[in-house]
Amino acid sequence: MRFAVMGAGAVGCYFGGLLARAGHDVTFIGRPDHVAAIAAHGLLLETKAFKAYVPARAASDVAAIENPDVVLFCVKSADTEAAGRALAPRLEPRTTVLSLQNGVDNAERLAAVIDREVIAAVVYVGTEMAGPGHVLHHGRGELAIGASAHSEALARTLSAAAIPTSVAPDIAAVLWSKLIINCAYNAISAVANLPYGEMVRVDGAAEFMTGVVRECTEVANACGVALPGDVVAKTLSVAATMPGQYSSTAQDLKRGKPTEIDFLNGYVVRKGAEFGIATPMNRALQVMVRLAERSRQMARG
């Protein structure tokens, strides 16, 4: 099949790299430094099981996408509409679009821009760009995708490429469960500059994270989303599965890139305000990351 990865960062390069390694035709759309490295040597995919260069096409211009069967849409949440407008002319009637983004409303926002169905996906993977064209895998690597006419076939294709994929009948609940994990881990990992395993060992951290989860759960329920009763335990257990992982927010801060904090804890704060639900812990984390962003901006002059 012909895949395109729109936003070839750590997530897009990991899943796109596995698809390319499985023999699929993959085109990566990303930043110039990654594009140059992939064009010169292929994508360096370093996982728990292997380290290898994977041949693939890469470009900075979305015009390089030709007749895609599937698009993995992996851009930052703030770029959803702009990237969607750029992508729309490259899509075929048969093209399936899969949103592999953080947050809970990106698939809906993207669908409004490209005027077609977008399948929401929830990503469970620890990965980072270790250098230009070099993706480093830390743990896990599965997907849950929303139900659609194409989802079962797509799940089989992805699973055959070493990407365990399931179809979730209630994707909203899965999206919110992932959002809660991000709200509990991302900002703290970023501000403290600690991986998950070390983060939760700090006295009081788990209790604070539990408070964040409870605020998120109250807001989710107000939005009509029913979450499992063990959401706190499942959220706290993530540190044991990816102890060495730094959050994507921490990686963004380190690289001087804008974070997605306003679409994570900030989203919970906004929705809480709509329903009259207090979210002081999520607000505190949002502000702390914004302060860290501002500090880095000033340091760069």
Q: What does residue 32 show for φ and ψ, rounded to 5 degrees?
A: -55, -40
Same-domain status, 157 and 196: no
User: What's this model's pTM, rounded to 2 decimal places?
Assistant: 0.92
**Could you write out the DSSP letters of every residue in 90-150?**
G--TT-EEEE--SSSSHHHHHHHHHTS--EEEEEEEEEEEEETTEEEEEEEEEEEEE--TT
For residue 60, CA distances in Å to 1, 156, 179, 209 come to 21, 30, 29, 38
Query: Furthest-apart CA pair in the chain: how many Å?
Result: 54
Confidence of residue 72 (pLDDT cuts 50, 70, 90): very high
Please give the residue range of the domain that contains residue 50. Answer: 2-169
Same-domain status, 154 and 213: no
What's the whole-number average pLDDT of the chain? 95
Same-domain status, 115 and 222: no
Same-domain status, 16 and 152: yes
State the Cα–Cα distance between residues 227 and 177, nearest whole angstrom.
Answer: 7
* Residue 74 pLDDT: 98
Same-domain status, 197 and 151: no
What is the count of structural domains for the chain? 2
* Residue 242 pLDDT: 87
For residue 26, the domain's CATH number is 3.40.50.720
Confidence of residue 31 (pLDDT cuts 50, 70, 90): very high
* Residue 8 pLDDT: 93
Same-domain status, 135 and 73: yes
Same-domain status, 13 and 79: yes
Last residue of a domain, which of 119, 136, 169? 169
Last residue of a domain, which of 107, 137, 169? 169
Question: Which pLDDT tens digit goes with each residue over 165-209?
Answer: 999 999 999 999 999 999 999 999 999 999 999 999 999 999 999
Same-domain status, 276 and 257: yes
